[in-house]
Chains A and B, each alone.
Chain A
Amino acid sequence: QVQLQESGPGLVKPSETLSLTCNVSGASITNSYWSWIRQPAGKGLEWIGRIYLGGNTNYNPSLKNRVTMSLDTSQTQFSMSLTSVTAADTAIYYCARVISSYYLGMPFWYFDLWGRGTLVTVSS
């Protein structure tokens, strides 16, 4: 059974860097795309970015200048860091597996597995 588990500090000070890790069990980390998604309290989902084998990344343009993702295949985990955080970055952060496929030449993606999420609060 594949499971994802986020970990990281629950509290980060403004202007500092938020760092999170997603531990993957039951699946190879080298065979899939992996994403981070966040959700401020009472609001919708926001896709942060994705990473896949070779360290190739794709980020949300609204966060591109502040976010970095990486893979650690030896530890079967992937990570993200978000610099210069503000209160607007307070949210539940989810990690998820991304599946990419095609149907009649039309591509599609979906998040088939999610972690439970971890709440990160930005406050002094």
Chain B
Amino acid sequence: SSELTQDPTMSVALGQTVRITCQGDGLRNYFASWYQQKPGQAPVLVIYGKDNRPSGIPDRFSGSRSGDAASLTITGAQAEDEAEYYCNSRHSSGSHLVFGGGTKLTVL
């Protein structure tokens, strides 16, 4: 089991907004980063730090943090956003990095 908890599946209607959440004690002290993974492909970084997007990531992706949770928000979801999303941060012990279990997002 992962120390970072994510809902296994979520869905969003095309053009609507969805918030994917990651929860864990470590998030009280460390920011999360978020990765998008499509079938048969390597993960791609979409959000890091407070709310930073790498070059090439659409601005409909944003990040936030509150207490022991971090969130990835997609505002105006597109068909190409259908993918698995993983959060990553430091374990609450501070000793190592850990991934959340992943959220499979379906765009309806």
**Which residues of A are in contact with B by a Cβ distance under 8 Å?**
35, 37, 44-47, 49-50, 58-61, 94, 99, 101, 103-104, 106-112, 114-117
Contact = CB atoms under 8 A, between A and B. Distances in A.
Interface string B18-55: 00000000000111110101000011110011100010
Interface of B: 2, 29-33, 35, 37, 42-45, 48-50, 54, 86, 88-90, 95-102
Contacts, number: 75
Q: Is the interface of A mostly helix, strand, loop or mixed?
A: strand
22 contacts: A44-B102, A45-B35, A45-B37, A47-B98, A50-B97, A58-B96, A61-B95, A94-B42, A99-B48, A103-B31, A104-B50, A106-B31, A108-B32, A108-B33, A110-B33, A110-B45, A110-B48, A110-B49, A111-B33, A111-B43, A112-B54, A114-B44
Given A45-B99, A50-B97, A108 B31 contact: yes
Contacts of B45: 110-112
Interface centre among A46, A94, A111, A117 (most CB of B within 10 A): A111
Contacts of B48: 99, 108, 110, 112
B23 to A, nearest CB: 15
A19 to B, nearest CB: 21
A98 to B, nearest CB: 8
Given A45-B86, A110-B48, A111-B35, A116 B96 contact: no
Q: Which 7 A-B pairs have the closest CB atoms?
A: A108-B31, A110-B33, A110-B48, A45-B99, A114-B42, A44-B102, A47-B97
